[in-house]
């Protein structure tokens, strides 16, 4: 049994990622309405009640907006840092708190490291999961990165990371100047170029899959994101590059480095 990652959808209108390891099912973020979560899980023959817990990266609505609903409606336990829990008004009876660089254990064999990343007014974290030596990173919403993040993501078999905007499209796009500055800033989002530079630092021959997430619908396109990333890592990276858009789930990515295969979700 290998660990798997399925993005239920990523982008400014909602993010949630299903991580499965053995019998354990974890959601990383829940930025969808209850009905949307139900619908997206249903496409994988799952129900919200099948989820063991939700880890929340930060309090922005597209990542945490549906967490309180999931607690109230289905009693799903939630893990978040204190700032995020406070901002989202989470039920203290159903919430556990993690700190920076905590190793959160779920079940017998899965552990998830919480690595702080700079992102505006939030206490955002990236997640690095380890299941019997298989390592997968899920990183989103950061304006820049730290040496610490590089250290923990280096050599992961699976890396999901945002590629939010193309620099030229953002420059010439419709957003007001102040918003453009915020997106470009240290606390904003990663451009395709920055994501390419980060991946060039962390991808090794162990890395089998890179999934680009949280693409801006106004300031990016899948082919620009993919070609920019390939420009930075194409010389040495021989794995797969996939893209997760807003309306998932699209694919399940199996982390096991030896048996790598993708299941298309047909319905």
Which residues contact Zn ion (rule: CB under 5 A)?
60, 62, 141
Q: What is the C-alpha to C-alpha distance for residues 242 and 222, in angstroms, rounded to an integer?
A: 9
Nearer to Zn ion, 124 or 256 (CB): 124
| Closest approach of Zn ion to the CB of residue 9, in Å | 12
Q: What is the C-alpha to C-alpha distance for residues 180 and 63, in angstroms, rounded to an integer?
A: 21
Nearer to Zn ion, 9 or 249 (CB): 9
Nearer to Zn ion, 62 or 166 (CB): 62
Q: What is the C-alpha to C-alpha distance for residues 46 and 25, in angstroms, rounded to an integer?
A: 10
| Closest approach of Zn ion to the CB of residue 109, in Å | 29
| Closest approach of Zn ion to the CB of residue 62, in Å | 4
| Closest approach of Zn ion to the CB of residue 212, in Å | 14
3-state SS class at 137: strand
Nearer to Zn ion, 181 or 205 (CB): 181
| Closest approach of Zn ion to the CB of residue 75, in Å | 26
- The residues, any chain, with a CB within 8 Å of residue 45's CB and separated by 6 or more, are none
| Closest approach of Zn ion to the CB of residue 261, in Å | 29
Pairing status of strand 209-213 against strand 158-162? parallel
3-state SS class at 79: strand
Nearer to Zn ion, 20 or 62 (CB): 62
Nearest residue (beta carbon) to Zn ion: 60
Q: What is the C-alpha to C-alpha distance for residues 24 and 114, in angstroms, rounded to an integer?
A: 18
**Terminal-residue alpha carbon distance, the chain:** 24
Q: Order of strands across the sheet with 262-264?
A: 95-97, 78-80, 53-55, 24-28, 16-21, 4-9, 251-254, 262-264
Nearer to Zn ion, 141 or 166 (CB): 141
Residue 254 pairs in a beta bridge with: 4
């Amino acid at each position: 049994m290998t660990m798997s990652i399925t993005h239920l959808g990523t982008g400014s209108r909602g993010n949630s990622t299903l991580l499965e390891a053995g019998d354990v099912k974890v959601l990383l973020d829940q930025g969808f309405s209850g009905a949307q979560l139900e619908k997206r899980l249903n496409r994988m023959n799952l129900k919200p009640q099948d989820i063991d817990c939700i880890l929340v990266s930060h309090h922005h609505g597209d990542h945490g907006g549906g967490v309180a609903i999931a607690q109230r409606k289905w009693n799903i336990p939630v893990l978040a840092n204190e700032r995020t829990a406070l901002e989202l008004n989470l039920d203290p009876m159903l919430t556990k708190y993690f700190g920076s660089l905590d190793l959160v254990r779920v079940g017998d064999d899965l552990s998830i490291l919480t690595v702080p990343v700079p992102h505006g007014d939030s206490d955002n974290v990236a997640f690095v999961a380890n299941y019997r030596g298989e390592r997968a990173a899920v990183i989103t919403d950061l304006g820049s990165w730290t040496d610490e993040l590089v250290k923990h993501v280096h050599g992961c078999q699976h890396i999901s990371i945002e590629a939010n905007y193309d620099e030229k499209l953002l420059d010439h796009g419709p957003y007001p100047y102040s918003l453009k500055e915020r997106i470009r800033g240290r606390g904003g989002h990663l451009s395709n170029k920055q994501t390419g530079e980060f991946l060039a630092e962390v991808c090794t021959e162990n890395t089998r899959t890179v999934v680009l997430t949280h693409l801006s619908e106004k300031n990016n396109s899948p082919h620009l994101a993919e070609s920019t990333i390939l420009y930075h890592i194409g010389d040495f990276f021989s794995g797969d590059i996939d893209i997760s858009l807003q309306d998932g789930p699209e694919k399940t990515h199996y982390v096991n480095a030896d048996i790598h295969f993708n299941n298309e979700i047909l319905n």
